[in-house]
A and B are shown apart, each in its own frame.
Chain A
């Protein structure tokens, strides 16, 4: 089976005046067609930069990104344009990614015209109408401006615009975290419906572990530019082996006061170190509750504990 997307040893370093920011530092994963991979982690862990490198919005420092069998990192601008159609993105804040001076109809029709997907304005209007109904909006919404819509409706417009390109991969970068709780579930259900309808593949970048568990087939947990742990959904949530994954899961408060009273929490000390100056050895060791001497100088590699379940921790078996 060939993967739709294969990321190998992806590295993205940014040069800044004070040194080198190691935003993404050797990340590898693959995505099968129709699958959803959840990429979780806290701010600065490199999850968004990973997404931007795949989209070629950032050029990778090194590493390989194979999409539908083609190496993206060496493509020139015109070749990229064709590939980009097949990879779309949905952003966290639809308001800042929708042009405020264009109507919803124009926003969705523009890429159809630019990429020559649908020719003729009447045909495009019909396609816009169809796309709006697919994402749960009404034909009349085409005449509205983004500011006339609610947050949930704007995110639906963002999804319709991405769908317009008939992509095979959609990178969803925190697509529901700016939305109200009652609306989040609507958008997640919509994304799931569209996935089964169009056979879409998602890279779902988020920090909400409960949402990620719901939508993902597999999950990768990132910390400071590296993957700490990766496994199928059930394994990673039922049997996390990396101490960071365990701490993340235990930090999520559960909406049940009785349960919360009894629950033991692992509260990590300290803060995420700067990617400008990552710790030696295991990048997690300064905050790790079980770190030993070895962790301070020897970098743990992501290794399979069981087939498909990898953890980058020297103590993954005994933790």
Chain B
């Protein structure tokens, strides 16, 4: 197995709320290797964003606390670094791209200044060098006429342009890993396609690894090498994209894949939703969190939480699933 660039082990993050303690991320392990794209998939509240924020140590305290685990990045555990060292990691070695660029760009600083700041602070470039590099970066992400764009402000950019600008900022210090949290969710379909193709192309050319956090199964299928599916704070299935889509072995993954209408298949007369509501994280059942919505449930599911165990070996990485009835999930898929 190739060495992981980022190796997250048994990460747990909790929030104390009025309703009780929320185990937003509960004993979660995954890794990203050099240059690859890994997806964290799941619906709102499943813990995918909090996972990324925890690694960057950006969880809002005191309500949120990282209560356990490790996030080993290039041999150092990010969760135990002092604040000064952590600051050097953020932006310089690991960059983030968020869903809504307008909330992560400073509205009163010019585009140029927001790009040169990191270059000057992290890479020690002179203002003049930084400016030249900033123009280069804008050109690289496909913003026409970069010199003219540098003095402009975020509000003068369209949504797609702002997201390009975020990508330029993320790439500016040549990080080895980018955490992209729903990077195209706020964008239109044709712009989404542009941005995703750009990200894929740049990550390949520059060898940047990417953690892609999304709820969009189509985006994951096209861009991710490996996939982690999260539900109620835990990973419930993990495998290569090909294996996971072709042979889902958890009822939640199977349910997600079957519930979306697909343009490549004949129209079905009726969609197959997952029944019930997403779980209340302050009142999770004792056994499997997916139990109330699961079509495969058996008695055991309400008493014992299923561990993540290998269900197939189809390459260097095992395909793992957290379901007592994983054997039956496959049967159902084949008879469809």
Give chain A residues whose Cβ lies under 8 Å from the Cβ of B217.
Answer: 181, 255
What separation, in Å, do the CA atoms of A221 and B100 have in the docked complex? Answer: 26
A268 close to B (CB within 8 Å):
yes
Q: What is the minimal beta-carbon distance from A248 to any residue of chain B, in angstroms?
A: 6
Which of A72-80, A256-264, A299-307 contacts its partner? A256-264
CB distance from A228 to the nearest CB of B (A): 13
Instruction: List the one stretch of B73-81, B202-210, B267-275, B326-334 in contact with chain A.
Output: B267-275
| Chain B positions within 8 Å of A267 at CB level | 190, 193-194, 197
> When the two chains form their complex, are residues B222 and A209 in contact, meaning their CB atoms are under 8 A apart?
no
Interface positions of A from 170 to 217, Cβ below 8 Å from B? 180-186, 188-189, 192, 207, 209-211, 213-214
The residues of A that contact B44 with a CB separation of less than 8 Å are 151, 180
Residues of chain B having any CB pair with chain A under 8 Å? 43-44, 158-161, 188-194, 196-197, 215-222, 224, 241-242, 245-246, 255-257, 259-264, 267-268, 270-275, 277-278, 293
Contacts of B273 in A (CB 8 A): 182-186, 189
- A142–B172 Cα distance when bound, in Å, is 53
The answer to whether A254 touches B193, judged by C-beta atoms less than 8 angstroms apart, is no
Tell me if A252 is interfacial: C-beta within 8 Å of chain B. Answer: yes
Q: Is A182 touching B255 in the complex (CB atoms < 8 A)?
A: yes
Which A residue's beta carbon lies closest to that of B159?
A43
SS class of chain B's interface: helix, strand, loop or mixed?
A: helix
Q: Is A42 among interface residues, defined by CB-CB distance under 8 A? A: yes
In the bound complex, residues from chain B placing their C-beta under 8 Å from that of A180 are 43-44, 215, 278
Task: For A182, give its contact among B43, B196, B264, B268 (CB under 8 Å).
Answer: B43
Q: Give Cα distance in the complex from A172 to B220, angstroms.
A: 28
The interface residues of chain A lying within 8 Å CB-to-CB of B241 are: 257
CB of A272 within 8 Å of the partner chain: yes
Size range of the interface on A? 35 or more
Which of A151, A214, A252, A258 contacts B189, CB < 8 Å? Answer: A252
Give Cα A267–Cα B192 distance, bound, in whole angstroms.
10
Does any Cβ of B come within 8 Å of A265's Cβ? Answer: yes
Name the residue of chain B whose CB is nearest to the CB of A211: B261
Q: In residues 5-44 of chain A, which contact B (Cβ within 8 Å)?
A: 42-43
Are B256 and A192 within 8 A (Cβ)?
Answer: no
Check if B189 sits within 8 Å of A185, measured CB to CB.
no
Cα-based distance from A151 to B194 in the complex (angstroms): 30
Cβ–Cβ < 8 Å partners of B216 in chain A: 253
Q: How far is the CA of A233 from the CA of B261 in the complex (A)?
A: 14
Q: Which of A150, A186, A210 contacts B260 (CB 8 A)?
A: A210
11 contacts between A and B (CB under 8 A): A150-B277, A182-B43, A182-B293, A185-B260, A189-B271, A209-B263, A211-B261, A251-B192, A255-B221, A257-B222, A259-B264
A103 at the interface (CB under 8 A from B): no
Q: Does the CB pair A181–B259 fall under 8 Å? A: yes
Assess whether A184 is in contact with B259, with CB atoms less than 8 Å apart: yes
Whether A213 touches B267, Cβ cut-off 8 Å, given contacts A182-B274, A251-B190, is: yes
- Cα A192 to Cα B269 with chains together (Å): 10
Instruction: Encode A268-296 as 1/0 by CB contact (under 8 A) with B.
Output: 11011000000000000000000000000
- Determine if A167 is an interface residue (Cβ-Cβ < 8 Å): no
